[in-house]
A and B are shown apart, each in its own frame.
Chain A
């Protein structure tokens, strides 16, 4: 047997060059992350202080611009309500798809439209809620809960897609065992399928919530913005993304500094949610 012909130096060089290109591509992909985090810390850390978190924006252009208390409270309330709507509905739709609909034409249509919803730009959801809830004057004009509904429309398809994947991972053997023991379908779903998939469902939902928390566009003309802190979801509400969006467009340095501080706070909140989601994912049995 003859020995294999050695790889020519030209091919070897090309291999090495292309590997280097792919490595460089990967590093380039990480550059923006490093830069964004660096500038967030460099420009944002300075403005963080106790009073930054405990005072409302003053709304004045000169002098002390105030803190971001109302924005933090607003974001937590609006995103909280949005999650309370989107997570159960999203998981419910996924349960239908996995447990009942399966491969039926109706289920496939629902899957398709959930996909369509994922692709709808967030600002268009904002427009829709403006038309349906603000323009028509249901419960006054702008309100925090209307922002929540716009956000929940955005989160819903994300929750459903991830929940469907997780529910499909629940072994059929478990379902069959429970059915064979005489458990009715609803008990199988509530006592076997949901607890088994719990970790994965939580992870998917939290990631969707984290994504929703950073969204600005759906809140622009639904929740609107005010400076004062309010706990009433029925009135206009401030939120972190809107606060940043409005502050970026001001020329005053101290207002821009507040924007950096708010951005650092928002990214911190989103990262904490993402981290919790990943920790749950690591511990859960499936997903």
Chain B
């Protein structure tokens, strides 16, 4: 379309330059806003890196991430316990959360009676409406005391397994993983539902027509088709779990060490920032170390989200 030029019966309806002004203004304002996003992200990364620089020059990036000593009072900043804590809790969250989320997505889309579908979806979505700090509060005063005997029993009975056994600490990796699992459930479930909804009806009907039971239809027609998308959903959930701050801070125990069991206390990257930043304002190295922890966290979530995008895009391309 040629913008603004129109002729009819020899009369030209070309717009005057003045009347095109608002058009241009709107166009460039909106483009400017979009460009601002790119500038913002770039500036964001540069400033974080800048502020973390003192720690990176002192320890080197590798030593900062992989040395096992976080003792701010002695000026030692090795982020390994935090990285391990972040990864362990997020892995637990995936292990607990993803099967439940996928089960609920499958049930809602394929098995639930039509009348209860929408209510079930709304209820699962409501889990996302509860603020992180409220989950933390609930974790501290309900989950930790109520689950402690159960955890101790598991720890005693299954002590022969790796990473299980010993005394159960009140706040620990497992509790944090459980709370994170609850928090990522709605997003993983929602995206899984979307992915499952894109499985062509023909595939499902073909499976059923060949005599498959409902479950066989799910296993043979839906799951293979939706696998990439569901992996993407899990990755997005992982990204959320890694970055989740407040709930984890309240139930992880805040001990900068690597526990030998999933029922031991630990720390996460996000939690250490939330806890120590207030006192670190006066100590330059400590502050830089916390900002560096933030940067590591940022890069970690970036990587995971990148993977998620890759999986989801791949599942879209096969459609």
Interface residues of A (CB under 8 A from B): 4-5, 7, 11-12, 14-15, 18-19, 21-26, 28-30, 32-33, 35-36, 39-40, 43, 89, 92-93, 95-97, 99-101, 106-107, 109-110, 113-124, 127-128, 130-132, 135, 153, 156, 179, 182, 184-186, 189-190, 210-211, 213-217, 220-221, 241, 244-245, 248-249, 256, 259-260, 263, 266-267, 270-271, 274, 278
Contacts and interface: CB of A to CB of B under 8 A. Distances in A.
A91 B167 CA distance: 52
A25 B302 contact: no
Given A19-B215, A32-B127, A221 B278 contact: yes
B233 interface: no
A21 B103 contact: yes
A96 to B, nearest CB: 4
Nearest to A42: B142
B214 to A, nearest CB: 6
B239 A119 contact: yes
Nearest to B120: A26
Interface in B233-250: 236, 239, 242-246, 250
Contacts of A124: 48, 243, 294, 297-298
A92 B97 CA distance: 35
A36 B135 contact: yes
A92 B27 CA distance: 10
Contacts, number: 251
A244 B137 contact: yes
Nearest to B303: A119
A221 B277 contact: yes
Given A127-B48, A210-B129, A92 B29 contact: yes
Contacts of B26: 185-186, 189-190
Interface of B: 1, 3-4, 6, 13, 15, 19-20, 22-23, 25-27, 29-31, 33-38, 40-41, 44, 47-48, 51, 99-104, 106-108, 111-112, 120, 122-124, 126-138, 140-142, 182, 185, 189, 211, 213-216, 218, 236, 239, 242-246, 250, 270, 273-274, 277-278, 281, 290-291, 294, 297-298, 301-302, 304-305, 309
A205 B132 CA distance: 20
Tell which of A24, A26, A215, A278 has the most Cβ of chain B within 10 Å.
A26
A15 B103 CA distance: 14
Given A11-B213, A121-B298, 19 more contacts: A25-B100, A26-B103, A26-B107, A29-B103, A29-B189, A36-B138, A43-B141, A95-B30, A101-B34, A113-B41, A118-B305, A121-B243, A123-B274, A214-B130, A214-B132, A221-B281, A248-B136, A266-B133, A278-B122
A32 B126 CA distance: 11
B215 A96 contact: no
Contacts of A43: 141
B134 A184 contact: no
Q: Which 4 residue pairs of A and B lie closest in terms of their CB atoms, listed nearest first?
A: A25-B103, A214-B131, A121-B243, A15-B213
Tell which of A39, A40, A116, A130 has the most Cβ of chain B within 10 Å.
A116
B215 A26 contact: no
Contacts of B15: 184
